[in-house]
Amino acid sequence: MEKKIAVVITYKPFYFLTKICLASIRYYYPDAELYIVKDLLAGEFDTSELEQALGVKELDLGHQKYGLSAAKVHLLASNKFAGQRVLSLDCDIVLAGRFLDELYAKTEGADFVLNPDYVLQPTEAQFGQHYYDMATVKKLDPDFVYPGYVFNGGQAIIKTGIVAGELLAPFFDVDNFPYYRRRDVLPHADQSMLNYLLPKLQQEGKLTIAPVEFMWWSDGAEVKNITLEQVKAGTAYKHLIHWAGVTRVANIDQMTRPDILHFFQDFYYSKVPLGGLKKQLHMAQARADYFLRNVYRTMLKPLIKH
């Protein structure tokens, strides 16, 4: 049975979701190795409570500030966990069941496991708004073959150290912020770069990819129809749930499927001394921070620019 190693990228505004994400993994996998990478671009924050409550370790990738999902690329380029597969996650995700053993078994030998979105017409404008413009990429690389699908990089099983060095350098500078290169061709940060680079490297025989569906969007039809009781049981659903592109606020009652989020949040605070009280304090602070960020973004920042 393959070892479970999960790395979650976290930053201050969504730290409350990070606790929920990691709680969902620990709920199903008590023996999993859990790590966080802290992105301090939006400010410093203390994760010692999380580390103690769930047995989480902070992973040092050599930088403090990342932005634009660059931490995921730094993880990919690192030599951490050499030879092992790692579940790399955004923090706005929860597992909906105990499915990793089955997923690992059916993708045995693959360097990367990606959740595919099969797009038949990659030349349409909407494709370019999320990934890349095919004509522009073809000018850069006439030999590139579109694999028939794209993927969201928020969830992936990866092997580190393969996409590194000279393979990565034309598109990503691991030493200098803001890291990304060739934004003229690959404009949407990791989403553009990895959707081009990983299939390209597979085409060249430098890595292997297993495209397997294991993610649901939180506002999708599948998630609307699942039950909390089955999530608790952990045997019915072979997917994780991702809240990207929808409301993500500390008042999780405003989010899609708040019952699932509340369940894992309560599981987290059950591991914390005085957890009930701390939950209320933490949520009040997160709501206040959210309010102040909105005030700055909508009212103060436009005035400062003028």
| Residue 186, phi then psi, degrees to nearest 5 | -120, 80
pTM given for the model: 0.94
C-beta atoms surrounding 220 within 10 Å: 13
Q: How confident is the model at residue 283 (pLDDT cuts 50, 70, 90)?
A: confident
Q: Tell me, what's the pLDDT at 301?
A: 62
Please say if the pLDDT value at position 47 is more than 90.
Answer: yes
Question: What integer is the mean pLDDT of 49-78?
Answer: 98
Cβ contact 190:214 at 8 Å? no
Q: How confident is the model at residue 300 (pLDDT cuts 50, 70, 90)?
A: low
Residue with tokens 């994780």: 240
Answer yes or no: is pLDDT of 299 > 90: no
Transcribe 50-100 into DSSP letters. Answer: HHHHHTEEE---S-S---TTHHHHHHHHS-TTTTSEEEEEESSEEE-SS-H
Q: If pLDDT is split at 50, 70 and 90, which confidence band does 124 have? A: confident
Contacts of 275 (CB under 8 A, 6+ apart): 268, 269
Separation of alpha carbons 306 and 304, rounded Å: 5
Which of 67-76, 88-97, 276-285 bottoms out in mean pLDDT, i.e. has the lowest?
276-285
Instruction: Give which of 160, 178, 162, 180 is closest to 170, Cα–Cα.
Output: 180
Mean pLDDT, range 109-120, rounded to an integer: 97
Q: Which amino acid, one-letter code, is at 226?
A: I
- In this prediction, residue 251 carries a pLDDT of 92
Q: State how far the alpha carbon of 187 is from the alpha carbons of 7, 277, 293, in Å.
A: 25, 44, 26
User: Which range is least confidently modeled, 43-57, 225-239, 256-270, 280-294?
Assistant: 280-294
CA of 245: how far to CAs of 152, 230, 239, 242, 302, in Å? 11, 25, 18, 9, 24
Question: In whole angstroms, what is the distance from residue 306 CA to residue 300 CA?
Answer: 10
pLDDT average, residue stretch 93-108: 98
Mean pLDDT, range 219-237, rounded to an integer: 98
For residues 291 and 147, the model is more confident at 147
pLDDT of residue 297: 65
Strand-strand pairing, 85-90 and 93-95: unpaired
